[in-house]
Amino acid sequence: MANPENYKNLLVRISGLNAHFISLTKNMQIEIIERAEYGS
């Protein structure tokens, strides 16, 4: 989130669809990160 220009091509899977991480709202980005950290 701090340097989005470094991750222009980062895709995440949301409800069976792919989305570019940087195109998501900040709240969605935080939720994705929290889910990934929880699963670790």
Residue type at position 12: V
**For the chain, domain boundaries:** 4-39
pLDDT at 40: 63
**Kind of pairing, strands 17-20 and 11-14?**
antiparallel
pLDDT at 34: 92
User: Considering the entire predicted model, what is its pTM?
Assistant: 0.75
pLDDT at 4: 86
pLDDT per residue as tens digits for the range 1-40: 889 889 899 999 988 999 999 999 999 999 999 988 887 6
| Phi and psi, residue 12, nearest 5° | -125, 150
Q: Is there a contact between 22 and 4 (Cβ–Cβ < 8 Å)? A: yes
pLDDT at 28: 93
